[in-house]
A and B are shown apart, each in its own frame.
Chain A
């Protein structure tokens, strides 16, 4: 059976609950703020939200089930998507199918995490079976250790230099300065990037995201419903997901997007050069570079040259992570996986303020999540377009 397209589905009402470095509030507090903002901003009554899709690392012992009672919701469709950095794309896909099938009319997709003073360390130790057994006992550096080795390997094999990764980080900081929700408010120079303290060679401070608390959310509904309500919205031109791709690669050099990208562009009926911007999952700059290669903007190994040949700011030749991304906006746990979706809705509905990509019509959001052992397992991508 041929894959059905995502026609008739609208994505609207991007919400960001402002990030905090540390908080004493729990994830449920941020979920509550996010859903309240969805209701206030959309004019849709809480009772009319009949679908809920949740992503969070810090809900335990609750799941999405407990959230319904906690927030007094009574959805007829519920999902809990534990794919972290890929959860934005994946919640969107699932919600869109629910709307198309008539299983739900209005789906609230919400990602939220808290960050207590000691919660990041505790999350790392119990992140997965494999991380508990086979990576955390080795230096307890968390994902920094793995991505340091992936970065070092990539640099050796393809000749990337720290300056190349620095261009990504510095451009994202420039974008962040125009995003009032970004945690980082000061400019970053390439010299500061290069001179930062080492974390795990070759990674230095500005290669790493800053864990924080916060939430991101959006609504998925039919296009006609969005139009009736007068909500600015975007349309889904194609979406892919993949888990545990290329598992026989001894070390990660490519992401699962490589396997499904032809499908993605075929769904949208476009080529990569038709896209006006991209939102990559920037847990580390090397992964941003892999997005560029594996999503077909350049060949494998050409990432460094591609970065050198482009300006990556919102007004550049290849706008990437126009919100500042997690490197400069902050990583609010699973909300980091939603950041690209909310930012793309804003870009395509004229709500991105001073960081707007000029005349943006089509954008790509990619997701990348869950380092259970030696690589991230979940990849996904969606192409969103302006509604005319």
Chain B
């Protein structure tokens, strides 16, 4: 039984803000296959294409038949905890600051024995457990031994919280609250127990539907934020930058033009101004503040979420300039991820397919409901996932893109855009 996380006391301003130490992040290239799967929330191990042996740690050859045909395949993670220990000493600063720390050896039903971090609800060996993969604060996959059946507050486990970015009791900035997605996001965060949700509002004179509803929530406060305006971003960062634990960048401009369907570059520039430069401005102003507070108590700064689009992977010609702006934002977010990593701040990229909003009026279903997108983002924060492809369309695009990006490009070009 995990004790529910209590609201942390207000920080004593006299005390020094703790700085982050990361767990060991060195991994070989082969072992990064586990990280690649964990980044999307899956636990995968190497399986031999010839003899089906499941092996761990990852290798360059099958240890049974020496085949080089090794594939990463999802695992159920069911297994038996053979032994456990509680560390009272560690050679690494990250763990030293978090002792005591529990580990276990689990014999997976699939074959190999794996070393895991143990969830607090897992009792003494021997017993059944379920192993999953999570990204740790260094952004590298680690295996975790979960109880076979968890209780209600299991996400509040001290070790597990180190691997996740749960919004509970955290202070969140949603950069644009005017859109259906922004508003669904705010409501989902309040439901998830966020302490404060600041909601960006670019043009306060515009009265848009729904804004009054979310403003009425006690956790929510509207803040002036125009991501196309450097001064506006700077001013807000000066005001709340030192308090924000999670930034969720929902600001986007979405128009539906290709190259030939609209003359000039005004719309394309406006899209870039918000979708790409907006992210750049936010990252420059809020990024350093988040990095400085990434070990500041139980509800330290923890994550940065970018609302991208699955069109960032491959251009969708009917929305060609929008796709290009999202591709630019995706590329920049990879830079942001690299720069945030030394501080242990997770950058979560969200790649939805068409959202069920006014700008996708002409898109046939299935379309992603804003509420579904918002809850997918909250789930990603709770599960410590860093790449999210919510909904059926996004999943299908991803599968086609993974299979062969060139084929996908040709399929998308088939109707001349």
Contact = CB atoms under 8 A, between A and B. Distances in A.
Given A156-B125, A373-B57, A148 B85 contact: yes
Interface in A361-388: 373-374
Contacts of A136: 24, 26, 92
Interface in B72-94: 82-92, 94
Q: Which 6 A-B pairs have the closest CB atoms?
A: A140-B92, A148-B85, A133-B31, A134-B57, A149-B83, A153-B83
A122 B31 CA distance: 20
B23 to A, nearest CB: 6
Contacts of A138: 103, 115-117, 142
Interface in B1-48: 23-28, 30-31
Sort chain B's interface into a size bin: 35 or more
A150 B84 CA distance: 9
Given A129-B28, A137-B24, A149-B84, A120 B125 contact: no
A235 to B, nearest CB: 39
A136 B26 CA distance: 9
B88 A153 contact: no
B354 interface: no
Interface stretch (A51-59, A197-205, A337-345): A197-205
Contacts of A250: 82, 105, 107, 113
A121 B96 CA distance: 13
Interface of A: 120-121, 124-126, 129-130, 132-142, 144-146, 148-150, 152-153, 156, 197-203, 247, 250-251, 373-374
B140 interface: yes
B136 interface: yes
Contacts of A120: 91
B58 interface: yes
Interface of B: 23-28, 30-31, 56-58, 63, 82-92, 94-95, 101, 103-105, 107, 113-117, 125-126, 136, 138, 140, 142
A126 B86 contact: no
Contacts of B95: 139-141
Nearest to A123: B91
A121 to B, nearest CB: 4
B104 to A, nearest CB: 7
Contacts of A201: 85-86, 88
A148 to B, nearest CB: 4
Most buried by A among B28, B85, B91, B104: B85
B57 A129 contact: yes
B118 to A, nearest CB: 10
Given A136-B26, A250-B82, 18 more contacts: A125-B24, A130-B57, A133-B30, A137-B25, A137-B142, A138-B103, A142-B91, A145-B87, A145-B103, A145-B115, A149-B83, A149-B85, A152-B83, A197-B88, A200-B85, A203-B85, A251-B105, A374-B105
